């Protein structure tokens, strides 16, 4: 059923023990998965969420957004609005650079789609830093070093240009264009998508949807674009978009060197996928008639795919398996109990009473934070960070997740969950996970330098406090800021 009806793994030819082994390996070796849905023959055979993440909160997709942008282009091609062989410069006659190189003139829509634009560097940094140009102008002005179609380079700016082309041709953003054609029919409700300063959806990133939305999108592609009796995407486009159009064999990780399609990666074992930074996956396995949707906040994306091929692939058999109530019930129980561990440290320290309610003035820092106030109770506590006249609060519990809304280290309000404990008599450790943007808030451009989680280590000595901020993942590499404060 295309409505993602739940089924026993064994009925769909999947060994429950294989799924359980995957979960055990993940829980032991991966930090952290947030959710998982495995579909076999269109049925949900496993669905789980690592608390504090849940089924209903949209999740940041990062570059998994690209596969949706590709779909919009395919729909526009089918409507006769453009061809993949159209020159990119033909869409933007008023935004061209003074001199048009031969390579820029040769760049076509298909080169944007297949990441073979001819650039030597991802253009996204040039777009972000453009001050006197639109993002389109900044892209078109960037040097095209190689002949388009000859050189693979993962280039998020190219995907933005696809979004700009769709908007130029339709007068609608990607979001508006896809709503009646894709999102509505799939039941994807009001997904937010970030915009450029010109009001164009970012295309290559910025979409937020649920794990079930990812699974439905993957199932739609597995079914060659057909959904509940309707051909939402032309079968020819599905096949073209998911075929390899350019070699990427020079890349390091094995599942990133199997070829690249139109904003889809080829994988081992005849599979293909859309994916996004820090472990957002939509893996389609045609040979197994299966789809795997995963959200995460992790660094090693190849590690997760290795575990998929090691545990899940061999668990899928060619026909139904004998019913195994004990195994399937044990798996279901395991899925219900998935959780990111809370801080497992003592809940009391004499320092708590000494500093509770006190304000610490904070020295100059990149966040503009002026002060921090800490409040403690036997059940937990909270931190209040003040920036000018604005406050960002984080409440935490001991040994369990405390949920709330904060703007700490983020341009807009986000739901979060936090737990804490005392490492020693003078050191409080707070673990915080951002869950999703607040409903109705369009994510600000740049989702934040700390997209998913952080650890705050607060060390109290005399009248001073130091707060070390350690993101679990970040685009900033080893960036670990430090705040220093003294009693006001």
pLDDT at residue number 442? 57
β pairing state of 226-227 and 272-276: unpaired
Q: Which residues share a beta bridge with 142? A: none
pLDDT, tens digit (0-9, with 9 covering 90-100), for 421-447: 999 999 999 999 999 988 766 555 455
Residue 20: Cβ-neighbour burial (10 angstroms; 0-12, 13-18, 19+): buried
pLDDT value at residue 84 = 98
Burial of 72 (0-12, 13-18, 19+ CB in 10 A): buried
On whether residue 275 sits in a domain, the answer given is no
472: part of which helix (H) or strand (E)?
A: none
Answer whether residue 321 is part of any domain: no
284 found inside a domain: no
- Note the pLDDT of residue 440: 65
3-state secondary structure of 303: helix
Q: Which segments of the chain have a pLDDT < 50?
A: 1, 445
**pLDDT, position 447:** 57
Residue 376 lies in a domain: yes
Any domain includes 475: yes
What pTM was computed for the model? 0.97
Measured between alpha carbons, how far is residue 23 from residues 58, 237, 281, 289, 337 in Å? 22, 34, 16, 21, 11
Domain ranges, residue 400: 350-487
Residue 273 within a domain: no
Q: What is the DSSP string of 132-178?
A: SS-HHHHHHHS---S-TTS-----HHHHHHHHHHHHHHHSS-HHHHH
323/332 Cα distance (integer angstroms): 14
Q: Where residue 423 sits, what CATH number does that domain have?
A: 2.40.128.20
Which DSSP symbol is given to 313? Answer: H
Model confidence pLDDT, tens digit, residues 191-220: 999 999 999 999 999 999 999 999 999 999
Residue 473, in any domain of the structure:
yes
Q: How many domains does the chain have?
A: 1
> Which of 134, 131, 219, 230 is CA-nearest to residue 180?
230
Domain assignment present for residue 302? The answer is: no
């Amino acid at each position: 059923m295309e409505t993602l009806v739940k089924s026993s793994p064994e009925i769909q030819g999947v060994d429950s023990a294989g799924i359980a082994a995957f979960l055990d390996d993940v829980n032991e070796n991966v930090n952290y998965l947030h959710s998982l849905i495995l579909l076999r023959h269109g049925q949900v055979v496993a669905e789980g969420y690592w608390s504090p993440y849940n089924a209903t909160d949209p999740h940041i997709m990062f570059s998994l957004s690209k596969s949706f942008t590709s779909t919009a282009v395919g729909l526009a091609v089918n409507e006769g609005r453009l061809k993949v062989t159209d020159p990119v410069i033909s869409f933007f006659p008023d935004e061209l650079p003074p001199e048009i190189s031969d390579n820029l003139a040769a760049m076509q829509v298909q080169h944007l789609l297949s990441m073979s634009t001819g650039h030597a560097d991802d253009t996204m940094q040039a777009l972000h830093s453009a001050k006197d140009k639109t993002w389109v102008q900044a892209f078109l002005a960037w040097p095209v070093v190689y002949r388009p179609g000859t050189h693979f380079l993962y280039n998020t700016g190219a995907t933005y240009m696809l979004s700009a082309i769709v908007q130029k041709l339709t007068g609608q953003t990607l979001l508006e264009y896809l709503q009646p054609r894709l999102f509505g029919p799939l039941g994807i409700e009001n997904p937010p998508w970030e915009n450029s300063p010109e009001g164009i959806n970012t295309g290559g990133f910025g979409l937020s949807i649920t794990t079930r939305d990812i699974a439905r999108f993957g199932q739609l592609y597995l079914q060659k674009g057909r959904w509940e009796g309707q051909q939402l995407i032309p079968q020819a486009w599905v096949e073209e978009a998911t075929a390899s159009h350019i070699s990427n064999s020079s890349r390091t990780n094995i599942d990133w060197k199997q070829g690249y399609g139109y904003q889809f990666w080829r994988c081992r074992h005849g599979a293909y996928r859309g994916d996004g930074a820090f472990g957002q996956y939509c893996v389609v396995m045609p040979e197994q008639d299966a789809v795997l949707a995963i959200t995460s906040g992790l660094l090693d994306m190849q590690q997760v795919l290795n575990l998929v091929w090691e545990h899940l692939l061999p668990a899928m058999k060619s026909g139904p398996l004998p019913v195994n109530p004990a195994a399937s019930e044990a798996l279901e129980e395991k899925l219900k109990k998935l959780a990111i561990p809370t801080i497992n440290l003592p809940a009391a320290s004499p320092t708590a009473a000494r500093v509770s309610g006190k304000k610490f003035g904070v020295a100059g820092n990149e966040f503009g934070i002026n002060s921090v106030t800490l409040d403690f109770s036997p059940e937990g506590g909270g931190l209040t960070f003040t920036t000018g006249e604005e406050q960002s609060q984080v409440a935490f519990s001991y040994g369990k997740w405390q949920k709330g809304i904060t703007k700490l280290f983020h341009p807009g309000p986000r739901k979060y969950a936090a737990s804490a404990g005392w490492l020693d008599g003078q050191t409080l450790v707070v673990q915080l996970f951002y869950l999703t943007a607040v409903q109705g808030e369009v994510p600000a451009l740049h989702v934040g330098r700390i997209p998913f989680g952080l650890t705050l280590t607060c060390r109290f000595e005399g009248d001073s406090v130091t707060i070390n901020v350690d993101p679990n993942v970040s685009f900033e590499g080893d960036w670990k800021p430090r705040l220093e404060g003294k009693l006001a």
